[in-house]
């Protein structure tokens, strides 16, 4: 009783039914492409595979069985017809039907009866293999995708076999019995193999990390937030999509719906929650604070952090503290907030600037404190395999919040500071202009992607290209 309560509590501590901030949608086009690429891939590995040993028996009289083993079985030829795969809402998964598979095999046989052994080689042709498998997708307590076999059905049409090399007197009889009993024995082994394959896949999924350290400050949590949703035309996965430093952000992911576009294999939606969780994570890690001294300011810039040169901005300062260098501490006073708006990404920044004079004995004397509110907009788009963007400043205001040198007007300072921010922004603009490469996996990449910014979320519609062995050497060839 206690154990089951603990188990239930553990379940709840691992996931709570929150909204996903990342949604991935696989369309029927994507499923069919995956099915095609998967068939190519399996066909490729089948040609070099050695099948596991096969132990069976033939029955001479009721209750008298002779065991045999087939070893070193290799596939000589295999015509793998492309299976049909469809979304299967009934089981929240997929249904795959393979029909008319034929395979030619060869290897060694051996048998043993009452301590007498016989052995030789064989050729075998298995015709008309039909397999139908239904798998169910789910989610475990910690947010891994899970896959289980729901049903499997296998039929073998006909088996032609040629055994050679037997030396015992019983050999001709063994061959006859072997021929008549091998078909159902092969048939009964297919589904256990299919289930084993799915079991291996499940083990891989369970071993996958659902969170990743992005850098020293941030971890990205990609656990599933809810069960996969399967309709007749798509599979949809909701991922948490939360960056965090030590603590999760103090705000929640809003719900959103990724529009379905059957013309693309994949749709990926990202809510501005993901961006904001990263901004918050960096904020709590203290990333948005910097010290600006005179040596980082370009010579040609109209402002220098020397009290004697601050006259145009703060008239009284050169008189009160002549000839001293200054430091500025700039930091965010709250986590920056971003929002996706139709065709633009907005960012708001609230910060403070503290100015100090550096005395000859290196003591810092506080001078004044300003608050900064600034808004930025950026546009993002896809060019080939890169996400590009441009950024601009919408608004920048400085307000005096405290002064040890008396009041002064901030207009002139605001103007020059805006100029400074614009210089930094030009560098950011340049980086965004060069773009960031779309994530690329070892065996796949995204092609023909389109990015669309909506209210509250951004969607990437894309096709994918899988490198099967044949096209892997030439990445530019589209696998068709």
Ligand X SMILES: *[C@@H]1O[C@H](CO)[C@@H](O)[C@H](O)[C@H]1NC(C)=O
| Residues in contact with ligand X by the rule CB under 6 A | 209, 291, 293, 295-296, 306, 308-309, 323, 325, 337, 346, 348, 350, 359, 361, 363, 373, 375, 390, 392, 394-395, 397, 422, 425-426, 429, 433
Smallest gap from Cβ 413 to ligand X, in A, equals 16
Smallest gap from Cβ 398 to ligand X, in A, equals 11
For residues 97 and 429, which CB has a smaller minimum distance to ligand X in the complex? 429
Contacts of residue 10, Cβ cutoff 8 Å, sequence gap at least 6: 141
CB 394 within 8 A of CB 344: no
For residues 97 and 341, which CB has a smaller minimum distance to ligand X in the complex? 341
Contacts of residue 372, Cβ cutoff 8 Å, sequence gap at least 6: 330, 349, 350, 351, 352, 353, 396, 397, 398, 417
For residues 185 and 429, which CB has a smaller minimum distance to ligand X in the complex? 429
For residues 207 and 232, which CB has a smaller minimum distance to ligand X in the complex? 207
Contacts of residue 5, Cβ cutoff 8 Å, sequence gap at least 6: none
Smallest gap from Cβ 205 to ligand X, in A, equals 12
For residues 247 and 363, which CB has a smaller minimum distance to ligand X in the complex? 363
Smallest gap from Cβ 254 to ligand X, in A, equals 17
Smallest gap from Cβ 386 to ligand X, in A, equals 14
Smallest gap from Cβ 423 to ligand X, in A, equals 9
For residues 55 and 293, which CB has a smaller minimum distance to ligand X in the complex? 293
CB 312 within 8 A of CB 412: yes
For residues 177 and 304, which CB has a smaller minimum distance to ligand X in the complex? 304
Report CA 257 to chain centroid distance, whole Å: 19
Smallest gap from Cβ 207 to ligand X, in A, equals 7
Smallest gap from Cβ 372 to ligand X, in A, equals 10
For residues 174 and 283, which CB has a smaller minimum distance to ligand X in the complex? 283
Q: Which residue has the tokens 């904020």?
A: 283
Long-range contact set of residues 377-380: C-beta below 8 Å, sequence gap at least 24? 377/344, 377/345, 377/346, 377/347, 378/344, 378/345, 378/347, 378/432, 379/343, 379/344, 379/345, 380/345, 380/451, 380/453, 380/458
- CA dist 71 and 118 (Å) reads 14
Task: State the residue number with the nearest CB to ligand X.
Answer: 348
Smallest gap from Cβ 68 to ligand X, in A, equals 42
For residues 66 and 382, which CB has a smaller minimum distance to ligand X in the complex? 382
- CA dist 320 and 478 (Å) reads 71
Smallest gap from Cβ 86 to ligand X, in A, equals 31
CB 372 within 8 A of CB 350: yes
CB 44 within 8 A of CB 250: no
For residues 15 and 375, which CB has a smaller minimum distance to ligand X in the complex? 375
């Amino acid at each position: 009783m206690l154990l089951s309560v603990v188990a239930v509590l553990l379940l709840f501590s691992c996931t709570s039914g929150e909204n996903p901030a990342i949604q991935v949608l696989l369309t029927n086009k994507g499923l069919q492409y995956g099915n095609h690429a998967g068939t190519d891939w399996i066909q490729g590995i089948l040609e070099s595979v050695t099948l596991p040993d096969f132990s069976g028996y033939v029955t001479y009289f009721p209750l008298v069985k002779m065991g045999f083993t087939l070893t070193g079985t290799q596939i000589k030829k295999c015509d793998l017809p492309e299976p049909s795969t469809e979304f299967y809402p009934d089981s929240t998964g997929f249904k795959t039907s393979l029909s008319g598979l034929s395979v030619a095999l060869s290897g060694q046989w051996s048998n043993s009866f009452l301590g007498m052994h016989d052995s030789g080689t064989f050729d075998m042709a298995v015709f008309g293999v039909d397999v139908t498998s239904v798998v169910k997708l789910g989610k475990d307590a910690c947010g891994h995708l899970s896959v289980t076999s729901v049903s499997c059905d296998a039929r073998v049409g006909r088996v032609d076999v040629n055994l050679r090399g037997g030396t015992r007197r019983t050999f001709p009889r063994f061959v006859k019995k072997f021929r008549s009993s091998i078909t159902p024995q092969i048939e009964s082994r297919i589904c256990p193999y299919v289930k084993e394959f799915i079991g291996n896949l499940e083990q891989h999924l369970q071993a996958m990390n659902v969170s990743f350290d992005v850098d020293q400050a941030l971890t990205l949590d990609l656990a599933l937030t809810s069960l996969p949703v399967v309709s007749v035309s798509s599979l949809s996965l909701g991922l948490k999509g939360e960056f965090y430093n030590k603590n999760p952000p103090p705000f929640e992911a809003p719900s959103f719906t990724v529009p379905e576009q059957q013309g693309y294999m994949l749709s990926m939606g990202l809510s501005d929650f993901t961006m904001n969780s990263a901004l918050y994570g960096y904020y709590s890690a203290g990333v948005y604070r910097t010290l600006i001294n005179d040596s980082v300011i370009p010579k040609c810039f109209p402002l220098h952090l020397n009290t004697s040169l601050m006259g145009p901005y703060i008239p009284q300062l050169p008189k009160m503290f002549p000839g001293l260098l200054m430091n500025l501490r700039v930091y965010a006073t709250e986590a920056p907030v971003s929002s996706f708006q139709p065709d633009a990404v907005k960012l708001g920044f609230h910060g403070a600037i503290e100015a100090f004079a550096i005395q000859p004995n290196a003591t810092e004397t506080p001078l004044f404190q300003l608050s900064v509110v600034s808004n930025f907009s950026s546009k993002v788009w896809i060019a080939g395999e890169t996400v590009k963007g441009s950024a601009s400043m919408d608004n920048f205001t400085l307000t005096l919040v405290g002064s040890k040198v008396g009041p002064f007007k901030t207009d002139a300072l605001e103007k020059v500071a805006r100029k400074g921010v614009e210089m930094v922004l030009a560098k950011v603009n340049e980086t965004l202009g060069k773009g960031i490469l779309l994530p690329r996996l070892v065996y796949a990449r995204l092609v023909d992607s389109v990015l669309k910014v909506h209210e509250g979320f951004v969607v990437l519609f894309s096709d994918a290209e899988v490198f099967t062995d044949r096209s892997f050497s030439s990445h530019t060839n589209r696998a068709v």
